Amino acid sequence: MGWGNIYKRRVKVFTLALVIYFDYKALQQREKWVSKSKKNSLWEKAHERNAKRLLNLIIELEGLWVKMGQYLSTRADVLPEAYIYFLRQLQDSLPPRPLQEIYRNIQKELGKTMDDLFSSFDDIPIATASIAQVHRATLRNGQDVVVKVQHEGIKAVILEDLKNAKSIVDWIAWAEPQYDFNPMIDEWCKEAPKELDFNHEAENTRTVSKNLGCKNNHRNTNSENYVDVLIPEVIQSSEKVLILEYMDGIRLNDSELLEAFGVDKKKVVEEITRAYAHQIYVDGFFNGDPHPGNFLVSKEPPHRPILLDFGLTKLISSSMKQALAKMFLASAEGDHVALLSAFAEMGLKLRLDLPEQAMMVTNVFFRASTPSSEALENMKALNEERTKNMKIIQEKMKLSKKEVSRFNPVDAFPGDAVIFVRVLNLLRGLSSTLNVRVVYLDIMRPFAESVLQGKISRGPATNAQWISTPVHSDLEAKLRQLLIKLGDDDKILGIQVCAYKDGKVIIDTSAGVLGRYDPRPVKPDSLFPVFSATKGITAGMLHWLIDNGKLKLEENVANIWSEFGANGKTSIKVHHVLNHTSGLHNALSGIPREDPLLMCDWEECLNRIAMSIPESEPGHEQLYHYLSFGWLCGGIIEHASGKKFQEILNEAIINPLNIEGEIYIGIPPGVESRLATLTIDVEDLKLLAGMGSRPDLPSTFQLGEIGDLPQMVAAIPILFNTLNIRRAIVPAANGHCSARALARYYAALVAGGIIPPPHTASEPPLGSHPHIPTFSSLHHKKKGSKSKEVATPKDKAKKDGHNHSHPTESESSTYGKKDAGKNYAKLATDITSSTSTSNNDTEYYTNKKDGKIFKNPKIHDSFMGLGEYENLVFPNGAFGLGFKRYNSKDGPLTTFGHSGLGGSTGFCDVEHNFAIAVTLNKMSLGGVTGKVMQLVCSELNIPLPEEFARFGGQGSDMQQNFDKPLIN
């Protein structure tokens, strides 16, 4: 193709693009001056004339534009009817190429004459497409075949068309930034040239046929992932000629013939969808061009789909395959955490943190298809949804209408995902073309589940990577053997165990996978939901304020927090709260049943706690404050310090112990890829069926029916896996941490506050992640409050004349560098850096220089309610001042800690200078934790607390949870 033809081709393409663009722009202005009844007519006429213009140019130019037209013709679900009507003609044959050209190309490519190759060759082609022309023929051995012959000079045409398409997309992205199709065209530019080598297509055809078992007569037809399709056998190939087995079939756009043969069109589309689900999720190798022209339906019953043309076939990595499956299942289950984690794994980056909108967009990908008759309504609904989302973005980022019209929320779109989305859109168009409705979630789900569960089902006995962290001691080696046995018995999904003895790390093991649908291995820095193990952290923060003179144990809470004095609570003291004797054990206990999302509203929860009514006199009865403990402590912490809860978390624990990024109470955006997902041990759940109502449960947990308990427990992972709950500050039940960070915290506590040597046992190094909490609680000076008014980050920004924004974890590597922020911000609500401190922080940090976080030499007695603190706790109660007291058969009380629902535990023994943490994502009755504790304590000759030895290893965590309140 000479430069003259290239120039003419380019001029025609850009001229038409401008004509269509300005036609619609002019119509947008014109419609403002016409009546509502005439608007539809104006738009229909515009669609018709522009569709004709587009069709005529595509037929004239051929090449890549034919493929683009074929793709557009399948989008009856979103494109105006006029475009579908005219562009559908491209699914039929284009004008045929001269027969002499066909003969010449065949003989040149295969090195034989036509007579040597074929006994007969039909001069009239079956089809003429954008790249090649197809003829029916019979080989010399009598076999019926089809011969696909590439057009002369088509390679230069395709490459030129790709350049022109790229230029047009660049121009559209500049003129209308919200319509930036660059990721799609970039991927197409990379993949489309592969279609020009028919040897490549031949190999792809063989591979897909083998993967789908098309030639395997012994397939298990009862298998959930069985696919019943046909693919022609490859007979011979060269770069420009491909000979395939002939299969007699009906074209999908031949509705009359489909009707005459009694073909079930919905069944055909569903089977094609199954075939693609298998290719994508099971094989990781799929055809990226499923337009109607690439399918036939066999004429013989059961009228199986025939898959053709594997020129544009995509190979994706195992990790991308898993990420796509995870994205699909996250969409199906509405799991925001899994969705954002899947995005991170596949390399899809968003410019802002709006998980709800991300879920909506993903749901659009996998929504059920609509018949073409519903295309107009469907297009309206999608436009309304898009307008709604852009309005939310505009409000979040405070953009003008002009700015929001040019805003693209996607920062990076991975090429592999581009072809995946294209396939989904083409399949949807296929459904619309045949006027059938297909529920993709139902069809594709078994395939997505199989790829993830297939990885997970490999237990530790067969998976060498089930435990990948190094061994630090003989004890750790023995522990691993126990974990492997428990893993093979399906009692462990993912687990971390870390222990300190005499200030040194002796165990630091991570094993298993992050979730039921997340086969990535657990790492030392993975974050596990630990439920009420969070209480031990919250209690430590309160003790830290007491140690620094900001608070007293005997102080009335109402003196610190004036609103708290309402409804007869003026006599409740700080030590009553820590000791679970305030009488507010039922405060806000109805939230999990009535409105779980109320837990996300920090200020509202504090207000409700302040207005709550006690059920018993302070100090008279110890009843576990399962949820109320957190907001009670949180309110005291904020009002006594004049700071936000998470600022004190940073100052008291995170920064001194150098455990940045591995303990959160309310996760920030950006850590989703490190989160473990909760599931439940079904066998243990069955054991709960025998538990009925108990008088020692809080009144809100008096169960009306025996079956209520297991149902409520089964719902807990669903609730606490949601992103809204994970991001909430619930200091009683919503900590996310690694075992090594939790163990380091208890190692400091067991040593009286002395900071242990740096934790160097595992990689990545502890403290290597930026700790960026969200500060959702705002402070104002209140009457009767000790606290001074503290400027919020936004206030400081206004005062300084700057807009302070902080990166999510994924941005940390570039944050602070030139142009790192560019012109956008990831919205993480109000965020303050872990390094930001107020003027009086020097006083708070006096002990850090000495390597201690507590000055009180009797801090252990304070934690456990012993010695001079004994009069502040309920006699012989299970709790000291914020910590669970563990009893052993022999010896004095020297152990304390806190466990969480499902098994996660933080624990230490003062006498033996021992601290341990266990984190789990498969919630059970505590057997796993109990067995771990039994082994470790036995090997170290440390007395085993009675609670961990009971019920065949049922740990104190589960006893506390199920013998008493549910949400520990």
| pLDDT digit string, tens, across residues 208-261 | 999 998 876 655 666 667 899 999 999 999 999 999 999 999 998 888 999 999
Closest to 876 (Cα-Cα) out of 579, 544, 436: 579
Domain extent for 179: 3-92+155-189
Q: What's the DSSP call for residue 811?
A: G
Q: Which of 830, 843, 842 is nearest to 804 (CA)?
A: 830
| pLDDT digits 0-9 by tens, 123-153 | 999 988 778 899 999 999 999 999 999 998 8
Residue indicated by tokens 């830290």 = 544
Residues 605 and 750 in one domain: yes
Contact 584, 605 (CB under 8 A): no
- Total count of domains within the chain: 3
C-alpha distances in angstroms, 720 versus 390, 602, 603, 606? 29, 16, 20, 20
Question: How far does the chain reach from its first CA to its final CA, in angstroms?
Answer: 74
Q: What percent of the chain has pLDDT over 70?
A: 75
Whether 56 is covered by a domain: the verdict is yes
Average pLDDT on 458-479 reads: 82
Considering the domain boundaries, does residue 376 fall inside one? yes
pLDDT at residue 408, rounded to an integer: 59
Residue 381's contacts (CB-CB under 8 Å, 6 or more residues apart) are none
Instruction: Give, as one character, the DSSP assignment of residue 289.
Output: -
Residues 385 and 501 reside in one and the same domain: no
414, 507: one domain? no
Question: E-strand spans in 318-466?
Answer: 349-350, 410-412
Tokens standing for residue 716: 């807990």
pLDDT confidence band for 751 (50 / 70 / 90): very high
* pLDDT the model gives residue 176: 66
For the stretch 765-787, what's the b/e string if a residue is b when 16 or more beta carbons lie within 10 angstroms of its beta carbon?
ebbebbbbbbbbbebeeeeebbb
What's residue 91's pLDDT? 63
What whole-number distance in Å separates Cα of residue 564 and Cα of residue 549?
21
In tens, the pLDDT along 646-668 reads 999 999 999 999 999 999 999 99
Residue 823, pLDDT score: 32
Which is nearest to 272 in space by CA: 72, 431, 146, 422?
Answer: 431
- 687's tokens: 């054991």
CB 623 within 8 A of CB 797: no
Q: What is the mean pLDDT of the chain?
A: 80
Query: Are 34 and 166 found together in one domain?
Result: yes
- DSSP code, position 409: S
Active site residue 502: no
d(CA 265, CA 282): 25
Query: Does residue 31 surpass a pLDDT of 70?
Result: yes
pLDDT category, 456, cuts 50, 70, 90?
Answer: low
- Checking if the pLDDT of 524 tops 60, the result is yes
Residue 816 lies in a domain: no
* Among 681, 677, 746, 687, residue whose Cα is nearest residue 907: 746
**Does residue 614 have a pLDDT over 70?**
yes
Query: Residue 296: is it exposed, middle or buried by C-beta count within 10 angstroms (0-12/13-18/19+)?
Result: buried
Q: Which two tokens stand for residue 923?
A: 């919630």
Residue in 180, 289, 525, 684 annotated catalytic: 289
pLDDT digit string, tens, across residues 311-348: 888 899 988 998 899 888 888 877 777 888 888 888 88
Do 566 and 687 sit in the same domain of this protein? yes
The answer to whether 625 and 585 have CB atoms below 8 angstroms apart is yes
Assess contact for 794 and 554: CB atoms under 8 A: no
- Give a yes or no: residue 827 inside a domain: no
Are residue 425 and residue 543 in the same domain, yes or no?
Answer: no
Domain boundary among 454, 489, 514: 454
Q: Are residues 74 and 12 in the same domain?
A: yes
777: Cβ–Cβ under 8 A, 6 or more apart, which residues? 602, 603, 606, 634, 638, 644, 645, 729
- Among 460-464, 502-506, 514-518, the range scoring the smallest mean pLDDT is 460-464
- Domain-located, residue 950: yes
CA 220 to chain centre: 33
Residue 920 banded pLDDT, cuts 50, 70, 90: very high
- 604 shares its domain with 684: yes
Token representation of residue 707: 């079956």
- What percent of the chain is modeled with pLDDT above 90? 42
Task: Report the CATH number that the domain containing residue 606 is assigned in CATH.
Answer: 3.40.710.10
Q: Tens digits of per-residue pLDDT, 757-782?
A: 999 889 999 999 988 775 554 444 44
Q: Name the residue among 911, 853, 933, 930 with its Cα closest to residue 499.
A: 933
Give the CA diameter of the chain.
107
For residue 500, the model assigns a pLDDT of 97
Q: Looking at residue 520, what is its pLDDT?
A: 82
Model pLDDT, residue 74: 59
Based on the domain organization, do 936 and 899 belong to the same domain? Answer: yes
Contact between 734 and 534 (Cβ < 8 Å) = yes
Q: What is the pLDDT of residues 160-217, one digit of tens each?
A: 878 887 887 787 777 766 666 666 677 667 767 778 899 999 999 999 999 998 876 6
Which residues on neighbouring strands pair with residue 795, listed in sequence order?
none
Please give the Cα distance from 832 to 648 (Å, whole number): 12
Give the confidence band of 366 by pLDDT, cuts at 50, 70, 90: confident
Which of 169, 189, 209 terminates a domain? The answer is 189
* CB proximity list for 842: less than 8 A, separation 6 or greater: none
Q: One-letter amino acid identity for 559?
A: N
Q: Please indicate, yes or no, whether residues 159 and 298 belong to a single structural domain of this protein.
A: no
My answer on whether 543 and 439 are in the same domain is no
Residues 795-829 as b/e (b if ≥16 CB within 10 A, e otherwise) read eeeeeeeeeebbbbbbbbeebeeeeebeeebbbbe
- Of 165, 189, 213, which closes a domain? 189
Taking 80 as the threshold, does the pLDDT of residue 435 lie above it?
yes
Helix ranges (DSSP H) in 839-910: 841-844, 859-864
> Residue 362 — pLDDT band, cuts 50, 70, 90?
confident
pLDDT tens track for 815-861: 333 333 333 233 333 333 333 333 344 333 334 446 899 999 999 99
Distance between CA 784 and CA 566 in Å, rounded?
Answer: 13
DSSP string, 435-448: T----HHHHHHHHH
Whether 287 and 208 have beta carbons less than 8 Å apart is answered as yes
Q: Does a structural domain hold residue 528?
A: yes
Asked whether residue 205 is assigned to any structural domain, the reply reads no
Is position 282 within any domain?
yes
Query: Cα separation of 536 and 732, whole Å?
Result: 9
- At 137, which helix (H) or strand (E)? strand 132-139
Same domain, 441 and 580: no
Q: Is the pLDDT of residue 955 over 50?
A: no
Report yes or no: 635 and 609 within 8 Å, Cβ to Cβ: yes
